[in-house]
Amino acid sequence: MWTLEFLVIGLLLVDFCENSTGYITRDIGGEIRHCIPISNCPPAHVPVKVTTSIVIPTYVNKTNQEIQTVHKLQWDQTDLPLYIESVQNEISKLQLTQKPSNSIQKITDALLTASSKTVPTKPIKLKGPKWKASPRVKKHLKIVNNCTQNGNMKQIMENPSTELFYKLINRNRFKPRTNTTGIDIEGELEFNPARQRKAFAKYYEDLSIPKETNYDNSYQELCQIRQRLVEEVLHNKPSNIEPYKEDDISKAIDNLNTGKSPDEYGLCAEHLKLAKEIVTPTLTNVFNNILINRAVPIEFKS
């Protein structure tokens, strides 16, 4: 909000200033009028001060605001003793009688807290505006790219080798396609990318809109009865499944692939591998509890 003050200064009509003798001629509204400068007016005539408030909108680039800085954990620089100590302090607070969901949440929080304290991070995506290259810069980049390709071709011709040959093949293989694949939309082949996007948007919008459910109620009731009978039989039948051992959980942790992106909870394989000796007993109890109660936590269903 900006407040602007205007001071009305200029010329006053002689009709409103009868005591003044010096005047000038001005064309006002198609009529010749006699006017005097405001400085020549007697004290009875004072300037008028007008105050108004206006709103001047400022341009905000929402796209740039939504860009978040992304960091990558540097596991090779981890303070391992401090990491293990931090995880052990949090795991020791867990109670064996807790539900599997609560135990899983506590273990996740303990691992994430320990990594935030002991594992350094490196930014891989900075927060800020994405500046587009100007036409002049694009022109120079194209020239440089052409020179590089010509240089590679010349190098292949002068010193041919298998490595250079496969580099040329890979570079040409991943070139972007200039033609658009046709899509059959309502019996017609459509090549326009804009219309293809609209067709996809309409299709997924139609999928998201709830439709009327015309189920066979008798068949649905029969399925529910069968499900209850199966659950009762499994519940009353003695379980012959052997419980998990700590060695089983330890081997499963060893088989996790490192260097991968974190899951939706922010956990990586490195979180578990570095604290394997500490989290293995607790995870063993969690999985055995799942076998006994035949209830899988919601965290394992995502």
User: What's the distance, Cα to Cα, between the start and end of the chain in Å?
Assistant: 48
Of 126, 114, 109, 118, the closest CA to residue 74 belongs to 118
User: Could you tell me which residues come within 8 angstroms of residue 77 by beta carbon, excluding any fewer than 6 positions away?
Assistant: 119, 120
The HSE-up count of residue 153 (CA atoms within 13 Å, CB side) is 7
User: What CA dihedral angle connects 162, 165, 169 and 171, to 10 degrees?
Assistant: 110
Residue 64's pLDDT is what?
47
Res 203: pLDDT: 86
pLDDT of the residue at 17? 44
Question: Under a CB-based contact definition with an 8 Å cutoff, are residues 59 and 70 in contact?
Answer: no
Q: What pLDDT was estimated at residue 10?
A: 43
pLDDT of residue 135: 82
Query: pLDDT at position 185, please?
Result: 81
Q: What is the pLDDT along the chain (302 residues), one digit of tens a residue?
A: 444 444 444 444 444 444 445 555 656 556 666 555 555 555 444 555 555 666 555 544 554 455 577 788 899 999 999 999 999 988 888 766 668 888 888 899 999 999 999 999 888 776 666 667 788 888 887 887 777 766 766 777 777 777 777 777 776 665 555 555 778 888 888 888 888 888 888 888 888 777 766 667 888 889 899 999 988 887 777 767 788 999 999 999 999 999 888 888 889 999 999 999 999 999 999 999 888 887 888 888 77
Question: What pLDDT sits at residue 81?
Answer: 92
Name residue 136's beta-bridge partners. none
Contact residues for 270 (Cβ-Cβ < 8 A; gap 6+)? 73, 75, 258
* Sheet strands (E) in 192-273: none
Tokens of 274: 């570095």
The full length of the chain comes to 302
- For residues 239 and 156, what is the distance between their CA atoms, to the nearest angstrom? 68
The first and second tokens of residue 128, run together, are 């800020």
Question: What burial letters (b/e) apply to 117-143, b meaning 16+ CB within 10 Å?
Answer: ebbeeeeeeeeeeeeeeeeeeeeeeee
What gap in Å lies between CA 140 and CA 136, rounded to an integer? 6
The string of pLDDT tens digits covering residues 225-271 is: 999 998 888 777 776 778 899 999 999 999 999 988 888 888 999 99
Q: What is the pTM of this model?
A: 0.49
CB within 8 A of 13, min separation 6: which ones?
28, 33, 34, 35
If DSSP states are collapsed to H, E and C, what string results for 54-97? ECCCCCCCHHHHHCCCEEEECHHHCCHHHHHHHHHHHHCCCCCC
